[in-house]
């Protein structure tokens, strides 16, 4: 059975849900996602299939649009009907020891507990995630990483040995984190380990780097083009995307594509300043800066651990076709 069950109301969010399901299937595989339209075969009772799907999934995604709560039939709210299929899906998921992720689309707000039937009130205790049309790729990327962390799922092509079926809940998450690649673990340790004696690093080139290099003429300086694929000294991938002066960075392990961290920030001239989040449950937060070399092929900078005070030097090289 599918590991991700997507609950939604067709008249409320079919378009956004279809777009989300496309992203989930590309990331986790076609068989990993349950959506009623394409997951119920002819000749099968839809209520049986949905019940079995919720019972078997490892994470329940509840897509909430602007009409999710007030959708009506025969003059009354559909969600107040104990037999409403959406209500049945969610209550079944809330009764299991699995993550439930409310996903807000089309500018929807999370319902308040007093607006919901008693068996749906526990839904408000789960942290909601918003998918904005203007930031769809970034917001969807964050959701995919949340699912990986919360439910112990891995992307297609980078899956470790399957965990025993009896492992659930927090124990499964710990096991998945322990099973990620050596490169990922090493990278995370570098980022979050306290380094009070670690020498502060400047994001600008060192004296030794510049002493032997001739001064660059203005005409020799390449335009500051940050967009593209970069790699660090550990061969990990840094995907940088820029829109106007906003920047998004996705940091993944070499070979496996396992998420190490992500960042958002701003571009100013030849420098990126950003907030970086390491993809472990505690989500340590760091500040970073990257400065582009004159020839446009290298980014040099630093990551600063705001909690432990340590610094890490970062050198990225542009990946060429």
Query: Within 10 Å of residue 221's Cβ, how many Cβ atoms?
Result: 14
| Alpha carbons 53 and 139: distance in angstroms, whole number | 26
pLDDT, position 220: 63
Instruction: Give the other-Cβ count within 10 Å of 73's Cβ.
Output: 9
Q: What is the pLDDT of residues 273-282, one digit of tens each?
A: 998 887 655 5
Residue 56: predicted pLDDT: 87
| pLDDT for residue 36 | 64
Q: What is the pLDDT of residue 292?
A: 87
Token readout for 259 is: 């998420």
Strand partners, 101: 61
pLDDT, residue 277, reads: 82
> For residue range 224-272, what is the model confidence (pLDDT) as tens digits?
889 999 988 878 889 999 998 899 998 888 777 777 888 899 998 888 9
Task: Give the residue ranges of the chain where pLDDT is below 70.
Answer: 1, 36-47, 157-220, 279-284, 308-310, 321
Spell out the domains of the chain, with CATH numbers in brackets.
4-179 (3.40.50.10140), 183-318 (2.40.128.30)
222 CB neighbour count, 10 Å cutoff:
13
pLDDT at 266: 92
């Amino acid at each position: 059975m599918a590991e991700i069950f997507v609950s939604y109301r067709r008249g409320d969010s079919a378009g956004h849900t279809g777009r989300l399901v496309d992203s989930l299937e590309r990331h986790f595989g076609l068989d990993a996602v349950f959506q009623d339209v394409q997951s119920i075969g002819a000749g099968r009772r839809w209520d049986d299939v949905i019940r079995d799907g919720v019972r078997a999934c490892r994470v329940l995604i509840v897509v909430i649009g602007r009409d999710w709560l007030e959708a009506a039939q025969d003059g009354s709210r559909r969600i107040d009907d104990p037999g409403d299929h959406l209500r049945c899906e969610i209550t079944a998921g809330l009764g299991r020891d699995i993550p439930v992720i409310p996903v807000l689309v089309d500018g929807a707000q999370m319902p308040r507990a007093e607006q919901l039937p008693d068996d749906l009130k526990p839904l408000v205790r789960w942290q909601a995630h918003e998918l904005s049309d203007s930031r769809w790729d970034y917001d969807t990327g964050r959701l995919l990483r949340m699912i990986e962390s919360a439910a112990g799922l891995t992307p297609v092509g980078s899956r470790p040995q399957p965990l025993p079926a009896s492992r659930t809940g927090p124990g499964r998450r710990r096991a998945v984190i322990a099973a990620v690649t050596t490169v990922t673990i090493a990278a995370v340790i570098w980022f979050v380990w306290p380094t009070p004696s670690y020498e502060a690093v400047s994001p600008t080139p060192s004296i030794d780097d510049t002493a032997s290099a001739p001064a660059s003429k203005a005409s020799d300086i390449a335009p500051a083009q940050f967009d593209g694929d970069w790699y660090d000294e550990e061969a990990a991938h840094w995907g940088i995307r820029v829109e106007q002066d906003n920047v998004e960075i996705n940091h993944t392990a070499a070979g496996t594509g396992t998420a190490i961290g992500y960042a958002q920030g701003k571009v100013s001239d030849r420098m990126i300043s950003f907030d970086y989040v390491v993809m472990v449950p505690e989500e340590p937060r760091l500040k970073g800066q990257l400065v582009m070399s004159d020839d446009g092929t290298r980014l040099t900078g630093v990551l600063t651990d705001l909690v432990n005070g340590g610094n890490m030097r970062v050198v990225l090289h542009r990946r060429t076709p």
